[in-house]
Each structure stands twice: as C-alpha cells, then as structure tokens.
Structure 1
Amino acid sequence: MHGSITRRGLGALGAGLLAAPALPRRGAAAGTAADWPDRPVTLVVPFTPGGASDTLARQIGQHFPRFANGQPLVVENRSGAGGTVGGGYVAAQQPNGYTLLMADVGANAIGRELNPRLGFDPMTAFTPIIHLVNLPAVFFAHPDVPERTLPEVIASAKARPDSFSYASAGVGNGSHLFMALLCRRAGVSMIHVPYRSGSEIVTSVMRGETQLGFPSLSSALGALRAGSIRPIAMGNPEGSPALPGIPPVSRVLPGFDVAVWYGVAAPAGMAPDLAHRINEVFGRIAALPAVREAVFSTQAGQVVGGSSEDFARFLRREYDTWTPLIREGGIRTE
C-alpha cells in the first residue's frame, strides 16, 4: 500500500534503516554475489494463492531462470495476520539470498504498529531489495448513492456524521487505511465494516450492505465496467489508463496519494554486494515488456523498479505516513 501523502521530494532515510543491510547477522552465512544463485530461490508470498502478490510472484517466476543462472524461483505461500506470518518466517532465515519475501506494507512497514506484540520489527528485520509495482486504488460507491463526486460525499458526511458506511478487506488493510486517511484529511466520520478481501469489499457495496469502498482497482475493475458500482475518485494523482477520466482524490485533498504496492525484501544483515546482485536480477525481470504488460493487464498496475536504497527510503516514508494515522485512530489487529 503506497500511502505517502507527499511521495516525491521527501528527506533522506535515517541512518539506522540504511545501515541495517550492511552488517551480516552474527552466525549467519551472508552469501556472496559472485555465484548467486547456484540453487533454487524461494520467494515467500505472505498471502493466499490467487491474490495480487501471488499473481505477481508467479509472473516474475516465469522469467527468473533467464537472469538467474537457470535457477528456478519457487513461490511459497505463508499467509496469515496481514502478511506478518510470512514476514516473520523470512525475517528468521539466513541472509544468503535463498529465502526472500514478497514485501508489502504490513510485514515491511507498519505490522508492529498494528500489533505491538509482533515478534519482529518490520523496519529493522529486513534488507530492502526492490520496489516492484504500484497498484492504483479506486474510491467507489453503490450506484444508488446520490452523491456522485468526492466533494458531494464529503459535504454529506459533514452534514450527517456516520451516515456513510464503507467496506474494507480487514482492520489495518490498505483499503481500511486509505479510507481512514481520506476521512481524517476531509474531517469526516464514517462507519467501518471490515471483511476479508478486496472481492468482498466489491460484493458488499454491490449488495448495498455498505455504500463505499477504496480497494485496489484490479479487484473492482470488472464490477466498475459492468456498472455494478460507480467510481468516484482515484487514489493516486496520475489515475489509471485502465479507468480513464476518473478524477484523483488529490484534486479535492491536495497531496493525497495512495496505492497498493509490492516489492522484494531479504532477511536483515545481507551483504551489500549480494543485495545489489538480487536487485539487479529482479530489476531486469521487471523491466521486461512482457512483465510490464502482464502487470497492467492483470492488475492495472505499474512497474516501479529502482535501487535497494530507493526501496529503503520508500519504506521509511510509508512508515512515517501511516504510523500517526494508526496511533491516533487506535487501529489494532492484535
């Protein structure tokens, strides 16, 4: 979930996060870049099969041997607790490049804020490798909701607090935090109804159980095109060519910029040259036209790429954006 209110032009990352990948964990075989990989590499997806992160992992896996000495990428699903079950598993592995994590905001930025009893610190437990993709998010309504624009929704919510209800994919999920941020920025109050997935958000709004939702565009695109739900605004300023002509939230709430995101992370303590080698391999795969087209056609997403340091700075911005919202709102998953 990309949620930086000011995504570009923010300050450099504090020394602690950047320093963490440079020092090998005591007793761990740090691995070297020269011969990586010389055996299969496991990419742990901390969600169930068939979801956005799993689909992305398997799209990348199709091309992995071409850039990785012919070795396969083995996708292993370890779901639970908003991605932190899989995250905790990878955090406990050796930083030798053979167990990696499909990174997301829960396991790699805000998991401990949502659950203070989490057994690892997302901001120190990993070596950031690469920011792979952003998936745009869309704010939509049931077709019978009379308010057709974001200013109209905000005006009605101010006039009648808690008159709107919205569905999310669970407490602390991106679809929850996106709406919580919108409400805070707009100065309104709405009723939160948590479900378990993006598809359930769409179904809830379609049935009229709730009135609003703010999930990834990919989970809602079919229903939007069928007219079963009505788009109101896009979470990112650029919008998406998959759903053209929909105004961004930032037109009403300047600086608002959210998206679902995924990347790759390794256990903390990885040698910098190995982290660079792994970044290079995933970066070359992500740059393939076939991968870019697959990400867009299946998930309306955009490939990001960049260096390990870029991803580290992005993770810090995510933490700094969502932590105040979580703390002030008393949002907990424990």
Structure 2
Amino acid sequence: MTGSILTRRALGTIGAGLLATPALAQRAAWPDRPVTLVVPFTPGGASDTLARQVAQHFPRFANGQALVVENRAGAGGLVGGAYVAGQRPDGNILLMADIGANAIGKELNPRLGYDPMTAFTPIIHLVNLPAVFFAHPSVPERTVADVIARARARPDAYTYASAGVGNGSHLFMALLCRRAGISMVHIPYRSGSEIVTSVMRNETQLGFPSLSSALQMLKEGAIRPIAMGNPGGSPAMPGVPPVSDTLAGFDIGVWYGVAAPAGMAPDLAQRINEIFAGIAALPEVRDAVFNSQAGNVVGGTREDFTRFLQKEYDTWTPVIREGGIRQE
C-alpha cells in the first residue's frame, strides 16, 4: 500500500513537472530571434539615445540576441505607439514608452486608434530625466516668483517654446501656468534642441524641456536657468532651485520605459522585465544615462510601472482638458 501511494505521488510530481515544462521552456527561450524596440521619435533624441545605450547590453542578458532600434516618429510619439499597439504580444516588438504614447495620447487626440491605458502591457520604468525651466539672458526676472508676478501683471509678457503640442515641454509649462494662475503665449516647435535655439535667439523668452537638451547651452551662458522641475534638483545643475520652492508639490520630469502590446502572457512579461532590469542595474548603464542625459535609472517591477502610468494619466488629464490642448 505504501509503495502504491509513493508511486502515485511520484507520478503526480512528474506529471506536474511535465505540465509546467512548456511555460518554463517558453520563458527561458525568449528571445529566440532579434527583438525590435520601436522608438516613437526621430534618431538622436533622448529616447533614441537611451534605446541605443540599452541595446548595447541586451545580448548579454537575452540569449545572445540583438535589440534592434527602429525609429517610427510622428504626432508626438503616437505613430510609433499605434504601430506597436497593433502587434502580437509575443515579445518580438516592444515600445520605448513615453508620456504621449503610453499615458495621455487619447486625451490629446480623441481620434487616436487606441487607448494608451489599455493597449499595452507595461514592462518596466527605465529612467527619469530632469527638466529645466530657463530663460533668455535678457529676461530680467531671475526666479519663478518673479516670472509669475510679471505674467500676472502682463499676460502677454512672455512667449515660451515647446517641442510640439502636447509634448512634455508644453505640458510642463501648462501645469506651471495652471498652478500659478497665469497665462503665456505658446509657440510650438518640433524638438528640444529647437526650444533651446528659439530661446537663444530670443524668438521666445522661456522654455521647459529636458535638462539634457539644454545643458551645454546653460553651461555656456547662452540661456539662463531659473528652476528645476523636480524637487530634488540635479547634481548636473548645482544651486538651481526647484519650482516646488515657489509652487508646493510641483514635481515633473521626462521619463521613458518599455511596454509591449496588450495581452502578453504574464510569464513572458516577467521574463522581459527581468532582462531590462538586469541591464538597468549595470553601473556602466547608470553612468551613461547620467553622463549623457543627466538622468537617473529607475527599474522596478511591472506593477510599479503600471501604477506610475496611472499617476501620469491622472496628473496630466485635467491639465489637457482644462487647457483645451489638442493635436490637430
């Protein structure tokens, strides 16, 4: 009798192992071919730079397979987002996630063919990049409080540049104006570098892009920093105070992550998270992100990223709706 029970138990254990084998094998086998990471912006920008830094180390963690960076720019990231949202959730095509494609795109463009909050499987929050509020050197105001006071007295006193309608650099200024109860004239361009050029030429007076896009010109004195977007500031710009010293709770910045099409098997999504988390933990990657973009690597779980995306949606949706911000 005892032998019979042991045999049944042994067979049950073997059977359970056999049932688990396909999922475990699939998880361990991914990837079995090169993986495409779609960057929804043009080459040379912050997200593209990050993608290529990550791609250098991907084969080491991913069965020797390559991570191929593919740029699909347009509509503030929505073209690339829509493309990835329509792919199979097999892990072969991933998206460099950002605020437009993965949090607020439908609010900016109601005709968007997908809902960013349901069209993707969040994988990992990769980095945060600080944003800097700066001015042309001829602007006499030196602090956020000074800028607010002048804008209240003269609503047409300032024009500001952004990298496009609904871009983070637009929303950051829209949030500042909303919190301060002021208005400014918005002039949209197409990239962070164009924001810097516009303010340098005094075509516009103010800008609020990622620090990485403006750092060199700030160091050279071609533009003047007023404040940092995040409460902690940045070691790359010591002594520059945060906006939150004037507007309590103000906390903004540029971020990027990785997302996959919706419906991905949890086991596969976890495998992909672990691979990118391994890359993000490398000291050389952390150093590269800081040295090239003054940014910080985040990492974390899929659940962490899901909560972060919801927070971003909740933060920016009222700014977009109340400001009547729409992409044509």
The question of 1:259 aligning with 2:253 is answered yes
The question of 1:152 aligning with 2:149 is answered no
* Counterpart for residue 129 of structure 2: 135
Q: Normalising by structure 2, what TM-score?
A: 0.92
**1:32–1:271: 8 Å Cα contact kept in structure 2?**
no
Map residues 1-334 of structure 1 onto 2, 5 A cutoff.
32-334=26-328
Deviation of 1:47 after TM superposition, in Å, equals: 0.7
Deviation of 1:34 after TM superposition, in Å, equals: 2.7
* Counterpart for residue 10 of structure 1: none
Residue identity matched to 1:272? P
Count of matched residue positions in the alignment of Structure 1 and Structure 2: 304
Task: State the SS of the aligned residue for 1:265.
Answer: strand
Task: State the SS of the aligned residue for 1:100.
Answer: strand
Ranges in structure 1 where 5+ consecutive residues have no aligned partner: 1-30
* Deviations 1:202-244 (CA, angstroms, capped at 9, x unpaired): 1111111111000000000011000010000000011111111
Task: State the SS of the aligned residue for 1:33.
Answer: helix
Choose 1 or 2 for highest CA Rg. Answer: 2
Ranges in structure 2 where 5+ consecutive residues have no aligned partner: 1-24
Higher normalized contact order (CA 8 Å, seq sep 6+, divided by chain length): 1
- How many Å separate the matches in 2 of 1:61 and 1:225? 30
Deviation of 1:314 after TM superposition, in Å, equals: 0.3
Deviation of 1:45 after TM superposition, in Å, equals: 0.6
Deviation of 1:33 after TM superposition, in Å, equals: 1.5
Deviation of 1:163 after TM superposition, in Å, equals: 1.1
Identity %: 80
- How many Å separate the matches in 2 of 1:66 and 1:171? 39
Task: State the SS of the aligned residue for 1:57.
Answer: helix
Deviation of 1:159 after TM superposition, in Å, equals: 1.2
- How many Å separate the matches in 2 of 1:109 and 1:32? 30
Deviation of 1:35 after TM superposition, in Å, equals: 1.1
**1:151–1:252: 8 Å Cα contact kept in structure 2?**
yes
Deviation of 1:91 after TM superposition, in Å, equals: 0.7
Deviation of 1:76 after TM superposition, in Å, equals: 0.8
- How many Å separate the matches in 2 of 1:224 and 1:80? 28
Task: State the SS of the aligned residue for 2:115.
Answer: coil
* Deviations 1:244-299 (CA, angstroms, capped at 9, x unpaired): 11000011101100001000000000111111110000001011000000001111
- How many Å separate the matches in 1 of 2:140 and 2:108? 35
Q: Which runs of 4+ in 1 moved over 4 A?
A: none
